[in-house]
Amino acid sequence: MDFLKYLIPVIVIIAILIPCINIVPESYVWIIEDLGKYAGTWEAGLHLKKPIISKVVRKISLKEQVADFEPQSVITKDNVTMQVDSVVYFQVIDPKALTYKVERPIAALENLCATTLRNILGSMTLDETLTGRDIINSQITRLLDTAADNWGIDVKRVEVQNIMPPRSIQEAMEKEMKAEREKREAILKAEGQKQAAITEAEGEKESAILKAEAYKERLIREAQGEAESVRQIALAKAEAIKVINEAKPSQEYLAIRSMEATEKMADGQATKIIVPSDMQDLAKTVTSIKELANK
């Protein structure tokens, strides 16, 4: 019985102390209050809580978080109503401010994002919103980050995911895009035909030039061949005359050559033959040559 008398208080003390031993995980902080008043912020590690007095009021993650908000109805500068949804990437930098300066911080951030989107897109036309998404993202990030600093939230970036105009506007845009594609296709086709015609004409021109150059080259080579042939014949005749002159031919040889030339003239189609006045002397010479040959 004495053992039980001491055991019960020990069990009660242990039951009270065990809940007071707390381990805060990495990338988290806990907000502690003593009797309803802020007492401190526990960071990662082992902590002992005051029994009954201390209380963990909030466990906050310090990791970068993503909030995907529902599409918001926005009216542009040119009175087009469209649906825009966004994603906000943020991180808690002041857990105390997040706990005590704002109620439901994610809902507050969503409402602030929707209001900022309406203000920004309300000053832009539909075409500007569709082509200026990077500008919208940078502006809304800057404005949200400035406003959320008081809540202990650092807005890293905001991405506008979808911009959805009314169905009638989408159909008109699709028709415009189709017409633009058909226009570009016609232009490209015409440019291709034009380039093909130019290429074909240039090919025909190059072919004509090459043919003319080849014909010119053939004529030049033929003329050069004929000139060379005439030159060679002339050289051969000159060489023959030179050899004959160097040999000092006799009158009898010259007479024979004259007779051969006369025979060639007679073989031609000429109807008249002019006989030289010294033909009798030539006959005498031939007779003398024959006599010499018979001796």
Q: Where are the domains of the chain?
A: 2-61, 65-165, 167-246, 249-265+278-295
pLDDT of the residue at 289: 46
Comparing C-alpha atoms, which of 249, 259, 266, 260 is closest to residue 285?
A: 259
**Which pLDDT value is given to residue 77?**
87
Residue 114, SS3? Answer: helix
Mean pLDDT in order along the chain per 10 residues (295 residues): 66 78 91 91 90 89 90 86 89 92 88 89 85 87 89 91 78 77 86 88 87 87 85 80 68 63 56 50 49 47
Query: What per-residue confidence (pLDDT) applies to 259?
Result: 64
Whether the pTM exceeds 0.85: the reply is: no
- Beta carbons of 24 and 42 less than 8 angstroms apart: yes
pLDDT at 18: 82
**CA-to-CA dists, residue 5 to 17, 25, 131, angstroms:** 19, 39, 80
| 127 within 8 A of 182, measured Cβ to Cβ | no
CB atoms within 10 A of CB 74: 20
Residues 65-165, CATH architecture: 2-Layer Sandwich (3.30)
